[in-house]
Amino acid sequence: MPIPAGAQIGRYEIIEPIAAGGMGEVYRALDTRLRREVALKILPESVTSDASRRARFEHEARALAALNHPNVLNVYDAGTDGSITYIVTEFVAGQPLRGKLPVPDATDAARQIARGLQAAHAAGVIHRDLKPDNVLRTRDGRLKIVDFGLAKTRQQPDAVADDGETLTVQTQPGMTLGTIGYMSPEQVRGEEVDPRSDIFSLGVILYEVLSGERAFRAGSSVETAHAILKDAPPPLPDAIPVALRQIVSRCLERTPGAGSSRRATPSSPSRSWRFKMVGVRPV
């Protein structure tokens, strides 16, 4: 049941609900001490007794706290109030990065998302659920990477869990996390991931904003997963600059450390790309 407007959680006063999903309920709220609007993410009461879910929720707060970058959501606070566990972040009044964009706007989006990813990866944080809904555009045109609920830190091994709206795909030895259609091949296979998995997801997003179509979309989740593992998306239109098409292709290399069908070598292409337009080199 949603928390009503005016309710007090710690020093935060609820204004209105923003979103709800398997990883938590998000509210716009007022920090009554600092008099600023914030986003208050609350672990659903239905799972507060689940130690693994509480641990993952708390992990999200720590993952965000490790980051300080204009293209990544900032965390302000975390705590408990009675039976309620919450995370407080900046409130982003923005829209998800959806739909086809003109080439200059898509190029700018690539630059901003890549910079945010570089900061996350440098801090030892892998997002693992990068998708258009988790990239918000603010009123001034800045992009913010949000929702680190499935993030993995350098010290944390890959985990098995089951989240409401985030698809769980059955794989060879067990299960894996992410949103189908934006997962890397190694995520689909249930393998341990590194920052190159986020680079693949970035490539899927860039393909989508350049073409207006999903890179991997089939009749079912299983067929979409198969397409990620076996199929290349249709070529981007010739009107897209060659350099930009090459960047998307490089991001979407099916094997993280190898170009085309070759095995990885120190000199072979991989998703650990660098390019002038974006101006950063994810690690």
- Could you name the CATH architecture of 95-251? Orthogonal Bundle (1.10)
Q: What pLDDT, on a 0 to 100 scale, did the predictor assign at position 272?
A: 59
Q: How far apart are CA 107 and CA 102, in angstroms?
A: 9
**pLDDT tens digits along 70-122:** 999 999 999 999 888 899 999 998 899 999 999 999 999 999 999 999 999 99
Query: ∠ CA 191-24-3 to the nearest 5 degrees?
Result: 175
Q: Cβ contacts of residue 229 below 8 Å, gap of 6+?
A: 185, 188, 189, 254
Kindly report the CATH class assigned to 8-90.
alpha beta
Residue 224 has what pLDDT? 94
Q: What's the pTM value of the predicted model, to 2 decimals?
A: 0.81
Q: How far apart are CA 183 and CA 187, in angstroms?
A: 6
Sorted by where each begins, the domain ranges of the chain are 8-90, 95-251
Look up 129 and say whether it is catalytic: yes
Q: What is the pLDDT of residue 60?
A: 77
Predicted local distance difference test score (pLDDT) of residue 232? 92
Low-confidence ranges of the chain (pLDDT < 50): 157-175, 259-269, 273, 275-283
Among 191, 164, 106, 92, CA closest to 134: 92
Query: What's the pLDDT at 176?
Result: 55
In this predicted structure, what is the pLDDT of residue 170? 35
Residue 217's pLDDT is what? 85
From 31, 105, 129, 231, active-site residue:
129
The residue among 95, 101, 103, 96 whose CA lies nearest residue 209 is 101
pLDDT of residue 218: 85
